[in-house]
Structure 1
Amino acid sequence: MKQLYKNILLTIEQEEKNVSKSSKSVIDEAYHMLSFLRGSLTDLKLEIAANSFDSILDEITFFKHVKPEILGKLIYYNKLIRIESVSPKNLELLELYYAEQIKILNKEYRKYIASSDFYKYYRSGRIDRDECYFRLGNINFFDGLNSFFFEVDSEFSTFYDYKIARILAFDLIHHYVSDKVNAKGESAKISFESADGSEFSWTDSKNALIELIYALHISGSVSNGRAGLRRMSKLFEDLFEVKLGDIHHAFHQMKFRAGEKASYLRFLKNSLEQYMNKDL
């Protein structure tokens, strides 16, 4: 199943690149991706119905990481259509329109996402309740559920996969609208220099930097986790003059790689401890 998941996510990534080059407008691109993503989910549903999961871990991985990434993008493109289809043509009004959309998004975030216990669970990287949240048929009705749960396909959803998808979609749409608010033609590049005038540079691997960005974001160490992964990655790209590309895809590959997870963070921890113990 892992290879199937990788192939589908890679196919989606490639389709996004292709349609971005060929589409005449953002709305055309979004409509195309809506259809493509729905097809991808249907294919996955049929595959899982026919072959089930390889293990409990495989089931948790699918509903915690794989399906939310696809569904999150589907929610994102649908929201994008709703925002862009009623956007004004006047440039001055357009800037005000996007600024208002940011306010609406932030209000939705505070009301429906950030205030939930599940959001804190997910963002903190906890796994102790994964079997409750990401296995079919394990819903606890005493937790209090949104009525939406009774309309989902109980054979292809744990309900909490939708919650993660909504979080990921928020990050995507917030980044999109923020770029529209801050754009002045081409986004101005931020220049960072040290006290002696020399520029900073990243001298480790790109994956190491992506791992660090995710850790800072998930832990809530930067703006209590509200900054958004794409905005944080842009900050680090400008700071170190490096192009990170699709950090979501890169991080997803890290999750499935063999060997030790979070290897760069462990390297940092060991390096710091060795330095602190050096003079003891």
Structure 2
Amino acid sequence: MNSKINLVLKNLNEQLNFIDLEIDNQIKKCEKAIEVILIAIANMKKLVVKTGFKSETEEIHFFKDLKPQFTSKLIYFNIVYKIEMKRPNGGNRILKKYYHNELQKLKAYFDNELDFYKYYRSGSSYLDYKYFLRGRYDIKLALDSYYFETDSSFSTSHDFKVARILANDLIQLYLEDQLIMIENKDLGDKSQRKPNVKLMWTGSKVALIELMYALHTEGVFNNGAADLKDIADYFEHTFDIDLGQYRRVFLEIRARKSEKSKFITTLNEALLKRMEKSDEAI
């Protein structure tokens, strides 16, 4: 069953990537994203109801690792939608204060759920049988009231909390990106020298983002002093490409189950093959 759910998740991610590229308006983007996520969650639920779980281990894996990947996306786009709908009209100072207040809300949630946050982030599993098996709720675990209103056949006491942690990571990156854009507007546009030759990036955006993070990590620009945002701006200008929410994409790359540095690995293999060809032109 898990393989079928992973396929549903893969299709969902592809649809969300397409929406991110095709729709510029953030509110419309959220509306469309929520629409496709709800369909994906419905399909996922049908698989669970039809197939069930072979063991408690499989059930824990589903509610701890799989379902939150769907729910977190729904939470993320729903909260971003609300943030943008309530965004005040005004200058950059007002907008900065607004986005900073939203960041404080995330911190408040983090502080309130600190114990579980530590448990989840540390990779602990000794309480999984309580947190991620259905019908094992413990009122002493300070459950949110929403839990008692959910479908008990498709929810555990803490799968939503995991989803909220994942969603908050993305929301934080979104808010920080908004603040960076406001800062850039304050600084004004800086003139940049255009290269004599125009090169188009024809690979995937995910590959370029992976490469960008690798170069930043290695510190190859300005003796390692270059900021990630500056590198991203340079890439966008040089290749005339919009990298979008590249921080969110990096989180998805980091969450890959295998071949996290897929593009870098492919580059290395291709270069080694080229070097092995004795007749290869230099």
Same fold by TM-score, threshold 0.5 exceeded? Answer: yes
Bigger RCO of structures 1 and 2 (CA < 8 A, at least 6 apart)? 1
Give the letter for the 2:162 counterpart: I
Q: Which amino acid aligns with 1:36?
A: V
- Pairing partner for 2:217 from 218, 230, 239: 239
User: Normalising to structure 2: TM-score of the pair?
Assistant: 0.66
Cα-Cα RMSD: 3.1
1:254: which partner in 2? Answer: 257
Q: How does 1:1-280 map to 2 (within 5 A)?
A: 1-92=1-92, 93-110=94-111, 112-114=112-114, 117-183=115-181, 184-185=183-184, 238-240=216-218, 246-254=249-257
How far is the alpha carbon of 1:255 from its aligned partner? 7.0
**2:59–2:133 Cα contact (<8 Å) kept:** yes
3-state DSSP of counterpart to 2:66: helix
TM superposition shift of 1:64: 0.3
Displacement of 1:67 in angstroms is: 0.7
Cα-to-partner distance string for 1:60-116 (whole Å, 9 max, x where unaligned):
111001111110110111100110012134342323322232233323332x322xx
Give the aligned residue type for 2:103. Answer: I
- Pair 113,2 (structure 1): closer, same or farther in 2 beyond 3 Å: same
Structure 2: distance between partners of 1:185 and 1:47 = 47
| Cα distance in 1 for residues equivalent to 2:102 and 2:65 | 28
Q: Secondary structure at the match of 1:150?
A: helix
Q: CA deviation at 1:176?
A: 0.4
Change in CA separation of 1:98 and 1:121 when aligned onto 2, cut-off 3 Å? same
Offset at 1:35?
1.4
Give the TM-score taking structure 1 as reference length.
0.66
Q: Is the 8 A contact 1:134 1:158 kept in 2?
A: yes
Larger radius of gyration: 2
Aligned to 1:246, the other structure's residue is in SS state helix
Q: Which runs of 5+ in 2 are unaligned?
A: 188-209, 221-230, 232-245, 261-282
Cα 1:255–1:21 change in 2 (3 A) is closer
